[in-house]
Amino acid sequence: MELRESVQLSLRAIREHGLRSALTVVGITIGIAAVITFVTLGASLQAEVVGEVSGDAPPEMQATVGPEGQEGGPPGASTVPAFTERDVEEIRDLPNVGQAIPQGTVQIATLEHEGRSIAWESATATTPGYFADRQFESGGPFEQGANEVVVNEQAASLFDPELEVNDTLVLQSGANSTREATVVGVLENGGDGPFGDISIPQVYVPTDPFYETTAESPATGERQRVYPSLTVVASDYESVPTVQSDVQAYLRNDSDARSLKPDEYEFSVQTNEELVEQIREVIGTFTGFVAGIAVISLIVGAVGIANIMLVSVTERTREIGIMKAVGARRRDVLQLFLVESVLLGIAGAVLGTVVGLAGGYVATDYLDLSLTFAPEWFAAAVVVGVGVGVLAGLYPAWNAARVDPIEALRRE
């Protein structure tokens, strides 16, 4: 029997049992649609986050001290202040290093502006170099040694009226610790947070006079400010690997931080590319996990195809007997039922792809993400649909091919 004849006979059988076939296709459609929706959502989320982190990013890296196995990332509660001002100067003098910018945390209880007080956790203490690659909505960086602050637009909008340049902001860190500072700059939205546009309200203050965490430098014997993290900016993108290696070597062999850090803590010097790769791996793992759950629907769809084909073999036993009586071979019967199950799988895969794309569009639109497709999954959906049809139809087709024509013809 030619393949064309098998397709025609299979289509006729599917049409004769339209409702049953449609319900079977729905099972595959739901499975494929769920996988493509979640994969599209994951690809869109990954593209959004990675794009914000890596887009127009300067050739910089982040140095921190944390527990072993922390593998870098943005400084958090587990990092410790270990980089002295001597370390900052020594790293700044390394070849191909453009800047070494320290960052620390200043604990704050409240912020007050024109009689309006809001609770606040902390401000970031840094140097004017931190703002070299950042855009200001108004004003500019603060000066070291001055009672000045820089805020981003998210922080400025928390007050009514909004904070503007030359406004006075009162920073209170305790019952008797209050400091007035002048707002000298408002950063544009995006670019000032750890994830670009996904920024949070931030207040920045100069290390002098706001940051007061100090320790004795093992090399000089002087008390110096110590910081939990450093941003090291290379002179160009090509120098990033060399600078990363030099900074790691200095920290391990000659730095004050080597003596100040706890023995079980280790240095991490992470470039933007490594951070992007880490984020990509995390989102990829999450997407794979969710897509794996959706694959359960595909298994249910495969069971549905196997069930409908078994029922079809039982109902068409007499037809199979007649086919064999007029000369049809086992492989012809096998091919006929396999083609029917594959057609059901292909129909479910195509419909599932369309529904999955629509679901991905709705989900990304709801979450305000840019739609990003994962085209390899579309081809995979069709392959999976055909594969499910073949696997689900193998046993029923093999069962049909083994039907004894004499016994089949005796059946009513």
Query: What are the tens digits of pLDDT across the range 77-92?
Result: 578 899 999 999 999 9
The pLDDT assigned to 175 comes to 63
Distance CA(17)–CA(385), nearest Å, equals: 20
- For 284-312, what is the mean pLDDT? 75
Residue 308, beta-bridge partner list: none
DSSP string, 169-228: EEEEEETTEEEEEEEEEEEPSSSSBTTBTS----EEEEHHHH---EEE-TTT--EEEEES
Contact 297, 31 (CB under 8 A): yes
Peptide bond into 161 cis (omega under 30): yes
- Mean residue pLDDT of the chain comes to 83
Centroid of chain to Cα 172: 37
Contact 123, 149 (CB under 8 A): yes
Q: Does residue 258 register a pLDDT over 70?
A: yes
Distance CA(343)–CA(132), nearest Å, equals: 61
Contact 356, 304 (CB under 8 A): no
Judged on CB neighbours under 10 Å (0-12, 13-18, 19+), 232 is: buried
Q: Does residue 182 register a pLDDT over 90?
A: yes
The pLDDT assigned to 194 comes to 46
Distance CA(216)–CA(81), nearest Å, equals: 12
Query: Mean pLDDT highest for which of 303-317, 344-358, 380-394?
Result: 344-358
For a pLDDT cut of 70, what percent of the chain falls above it? 91
The pLDDT assigned to 116 comes to 85
Q: Can you give the pTM of this predicted structure?
A: 0.60
Q: Does residue 282 register a pLDDT over 60?
A: yes
Q: Does residue 385 register a pLDDT over 80?
A: no
pLDDT in tens, 48-79: 777 766 656 678 888 998 887 665 555 555 78
Q: Of 102, 355, 323, whose CA–CA distance to 224 is shortest?
A: 102
User: How is residue 130 annotated by DSSP?
Assistant: G
Neighbours of 249 (CB within 10 A): 12
The pLDDT assigned to 147 comes to 93
Distance CA(349)–CA(343), nearest Å, equals: 10
pLDDT in tens, 19-29: 878 887 887 78
Cα–Cα separations (whole angstroms), residue 394 to 13, 295, 310, 313, 316: 17, 20, 10, 12, 17
Contact 163, 181 (CB under 8 A): no
For the chain, how are helix, strand and coil distributed in percent, rounded to 5?
A: 50, 20, 25
The pLDDT assigned to 197 comes to 46
For tokens 């900052």, what's the residue? 88
Cα–Cα separations (whole angstroms), residue 29 to 14, 18, 289, 339, 386: 17, 16, 20, 18, 12
Distance CA(337)–CA(399), nearest Å, equals: 10
Distance CA(274)–CA(248), nearest Å, equals: 15
Cα–Cα separations (whole angstroms), residue 3 to 252, 275, 329, 392: 70, 53, 14, 19
Would you place residue 206 in the very low, low, confident or very high pLDDT band (cuts 50, 70, 90)?
A: very high
Query: How many H helices and E strands in the chain?
Result: 12, 15
